[in-house]
């Protein structure tokens, strides 16, 4: 079925590649808002109204990265192209037998910063109701890329198991908050230690998520605190941040321990090389460092999601207060996304798009 109506949409495109932090205004702005006419649907496509944007630090690498585009794990965003993100959307028109108007769909990373978007039905995920009337927005967080990355990073990349001591950085973020609960509730780790950016966030990680300890990396006593909470050293470190925190953790990982690298948020907005004074610890303690992405484990995703949803349904995993949802117009989306880099969220940061 061809689109019967001509639609236009406001859409953010990548106007220039930033060398440091993205620029939100002025002649060198990273993004530009424009009006776009949507072409008629082709067979197998659906036209959707965007309801929610997923805000993720990793999107920074979609627009500029030291990794060459041909070596990157998904297609990057060229200048002049729409900015991409995960979305939840409502089908308006369909040229696919899979979907009908009114259906809700999700796309992990091929949605765009637009009010309306055309998706390939084959790459879109239908949304089913969640138990206990949990919000469907969790499909973009706890039951989406964040939860899958947390689980696969701990279990498959990190080899974490019952009885381990596990440290998780960015523990109050979308992926870190799930990793803490998975380590405590599903893996039965001996000790789970979070690292976060404020005393308030650390209190939430301990009291709400169940971490045995949480320390503030911005504290003047961070290195002493880290040593104090890891007297027996660390089996698995789940790294979301890189930089100075990774450097400190190299001195606390056990001989033959593992570091599972999920992200490097401390360096996403910097063109400076990451300096690690403690790099030789890798040799001295024979530490394994393994980078991963959740797409590596998509064959395991159905079983992982079944376990995560079941754990949320019976209360082992807590999702209350695990989302920061900001209602905003499309014009505000770049600024909301940038809040991730100043710690302006607890758990998953989502934009609820309003018109």
Residue 69 Ramachandran class (φ > 0 left, ψ -120 to 50 alpha, else beta): alpha
Q: Do 117 and 50 share a structural domain?
A: yes
Domain that holds residue 94: 7-141+322-353
pTM: 0.94
Whether 2 shows a pLDDT value over 70: the answer reads: no
Question: What are 157-169's pLDDT values in tens digits?
Answer: 999 999 999 999 9
Cβ-based burial of 44 (10 A; exposed 0-12, middle 13-18, buried ≥19): middle
Q: Do 344 and 270 share a structural domain?
A: no
Whether 61 shows a pLDDT value over 80: the answer reads: yes
Count of C-beta atoms within a 10 Å radius of residue 256: 10
HSE (side-chain half, CA atoms, 13 Å) at 263: 26
Q: Do 165 and 96 share a structural domain?
A: no
Q: Do 177 and 57 share a structural domain?
A: no
Could you tell me the CA-to-CA distances from 119 to 10, 109, 147, 224 in Å, in that order?
16, 11, 23, 50
Beta carbons of 177 and 347 less than 8 angstroms apart: yes
Whether 14 shows a pLDDT value over 50: the answer reads: yes
Among 276, 295, 314, the domain boundary falls at 295
Is residue 187 helix, strand or coil?
Answer: coil
Could you tell me the CA-to-CA distances from 116 to 38, 52, 176, 245 in Å, in that order?
8, 11, 31, 40
Question: What are 332-351's pLDDT values in tens digits?
Answer: 999 999 999 988 788 999 99
Q: Do 285 and 160 share a structural domain?
A: yes
Q: Do 173 and 83 share a structural domain?
A: no
Beta carbons of 47 and 114 less than 8 angstroms apart: no
Q: Do 185 and 92 share a structural domain?
A: no
Spell 233-254 as b/e; 16+ CB within 10 A means b: ebbbbbbbbbbbbbbbbbbbbb
Could you tell me the CA-to-CA distances from 177 to 141, 238, 272 in Å, in that order?
10, 12, 28
Q: pLDDT grade, residue 4 (50/70/90)?
A: low
What's the whole-number average pLDDT of the chain?
95
pLDDT of residue 1: 44
Whether 272 shows a pLDDT value over 90: the answer reads: no
Highest mean pLDDT among 16-20, 195-199, 339-343: 195-199
Question: What are 291-308's pLDDT values in tens digits?
Answer: 999 999 999 999 999 999
């Amino acid at each position: 079925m061809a689109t019967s109506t001509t639609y236009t949409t406001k859409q953010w495109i990548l106007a220039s590649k930033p060398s440091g932090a993205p620029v939100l205004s002025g002649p060198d702005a990273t993004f530009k808002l424009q009006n776009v006419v949507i072409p008629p649907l082709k067979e197998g496509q659906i036209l959707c109204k965007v309801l929610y944007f997923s805000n993720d630090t990793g999107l920074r690498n979609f627009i500029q990265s030291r990794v060459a585009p041909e070596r990157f794990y998904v297609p990057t965003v060229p200048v002049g192209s729409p900015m991409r993100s995960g979305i939840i959307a409502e089908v308006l028109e369909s040229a696919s037998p899979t979907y009908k108007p009114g259906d809700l769909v999700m796309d992990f990373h091929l949605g765009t910063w637009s009010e309306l978007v055309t998706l390939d039905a084959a790459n879109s995920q239908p949304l089913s109701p969640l138990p206990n009337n949990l919000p469907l927005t969790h499909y973009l967080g706890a039951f989406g890329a964040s939860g899958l990355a947390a689980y696969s990073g701990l279990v498959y990349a990190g080899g974490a198991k019952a009885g381990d001591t596990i440290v998780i950085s960015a523990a109050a973020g979308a992926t870190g908050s799930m990793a803490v609960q998975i380590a405590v509730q599903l893996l039965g780790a001996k000790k789970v230690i979070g690292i976060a950016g404020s005393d308030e966030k650390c209190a939430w990680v301990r009291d709400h998520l169940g971490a045995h300890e949480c320390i503030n990396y911005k504290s003047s006593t961070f290195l002493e605190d880290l040593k104090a909470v890891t007297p027996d050293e660390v089996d698995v470190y789940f790294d979301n941040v890189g930089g100075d925190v990774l450097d400190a953790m190299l001195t606390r990982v056990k001989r033959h321990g593992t570091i599972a690298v999920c992200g490097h948020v401390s360096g996403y907005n910097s063109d400076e090389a990451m300096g690690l004074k403690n790099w030789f610890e890798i040799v001295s303690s024979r530490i394994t460092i393994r980078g991963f992405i959740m797409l590596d484990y998509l064959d395991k995703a159905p079983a992982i999601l079944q376990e995560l949803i079941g754990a949320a349904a019976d209360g082992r995993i807590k999702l209350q207060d695990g989302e920061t949802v900001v209602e905003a117009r499309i014009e505000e989306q770049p600024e909301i996304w940038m809040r991730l880099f100043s710690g302006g969220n607890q758990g998953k940061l989502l934009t609820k798009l309003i018109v």
